[in-house]
Amino acid sequence: MAFSLIPKEVKFFDLFEQQTAIITSAAACFKELAIQGKFDDQGIERMRVIEHQGDEITHEIVDKLNRCFITPFDREDIHCLAFELDNVIDVVYTLTKRMRLYKLNVADPGMIKFAELIEQAVYSLAQAIKELRDTKNPKKILKHCIEINRLENMGDQLRDSVIGKLFDDGADPITVIKWKEIYEGAETCLDICEDIANVVESILVKQG
């Protein structure tokens, strides 16, 4: 293995932008499936292809990181960003597979709202990470992080509202078991977006 002695900072940003592009398509695909209520074999296959692209770019980032002396920001932060960004796709993919396993082929209003929140959070993430190239104007980046926190809060409220409704409506226990898991999984996706926003914020402070 040859260590690269020339700082190749730009490379990491390029890779992160490729990664957020993949996450953006995962979120778009997930929203489409939620609106159509089509969590079937075909829908899963579409997500699987995206998930595989996500794995490859993550692997490339981690691989480059292990071989690089000089990085644009802390090694652990790069590793954490790559890993958590990939996690967003994994959670969405797992949700898709779980919906099919539970035969929940319906356009559920709660799921559609979750899919919209996830898409918005992923959009803000992509913006924040794009602008990490130039940290001279941290306020622009922080604005996106604050928006992600707001969306995560909305996700918490949405989860409580849809799960509360399940119980209040007297849904049968098997239905409760299935949808409670799905809704909590969808909310977890927003938690991960918030975790990523926190990493971005801490990068800004350290560069400050």
Decide: is 174 part of the binding site for its own copies (CB under 8 A): yes
Decide: is 164 part of the binding site for its own copies (CB under 8 A): yes
Distance CA(184)–CA(165), nearest Å, equals: 14
Evaluate whether 19 touches 58 at the Cβ level (below 8 Å). yes
Distance CA(53)–CA(19), nearest Å, equals: 9
Decide: is 113 part of the binding site for its own copies (CB under 8 A): no
The torsion region of residue 103 among left (phi > 0), alpha (psi -120 to 50) and beta comes to left
Evaluate whether 52 touches 155 at the Cβ level (below 8 Å). no
Nearest CB to its own copies, comparing residues 18 and 135? 135
Decide: is 4 part of the binding site for its own copies (CB under 8 A): no
**Residue 177 Cβ, how far from its own copies at the closest point, in Å?**
6
Nearest CB to its own copies, comparing residues 21 and 156? 156
Sign of the Cα torsion 108, 117, 115, 184 reads negative
Angle (nearest 5°) at CA 121 between 116 and 127? 130
Answer for which of 102, 105, 130, 154 binds its own copies (CB under 8 A) is 102
Considering only residues 49 through 68, tell me which ones interact with its own copies, judged by CB under 8 A: 62-63, 66-67
By CB under 8 A, the count of residues binding its own copies is 24
Structure tokens at 104: 């929940």
Decide: is 97 part of the binding site for its own copies (CB under 8 A): yes
Q: Which among 10-18, 38-46, 110-118, 162-170 is the span making contact with its own copies, rule CB under 8 A?
A: 162-170
Nearest CB to its own copies, comparing residues 6 and 173? 173
Q: Which among 11-19, 37-45, 123-131, 169-177 is the span making contact with its own copies, rule CB under 8 A?
A: 169-177
Evaluate whether 122 touches 89 at the Cβ level (below 8 Å). no
For residue 4, give the 3-state DSSP assignment.
Answer: strand
Decide: is 153 part of the binding site for its own copies (CB under 8 A): no
Decide: is 180 part of the binding site for its own copies (CB under 8 A): yes
Decide: is 154 part of the binding site for its own copies (CB under 8 A): no
What secondary structure, in 3-state letters, does 40-102 show? Answer: CHHHHHHHHHHHHHHHHHHHHHHHHHHHECCCCCCHHHHHHHHHHHHHHHHHHHHHHHHHHHC
Residues that bind its own copies (CB under 8 A): 1, 62-63, 66-67, 97, 101-103, 160, 163-164, 167, 172-174, 176-178, 180, 202, 205-206, 208
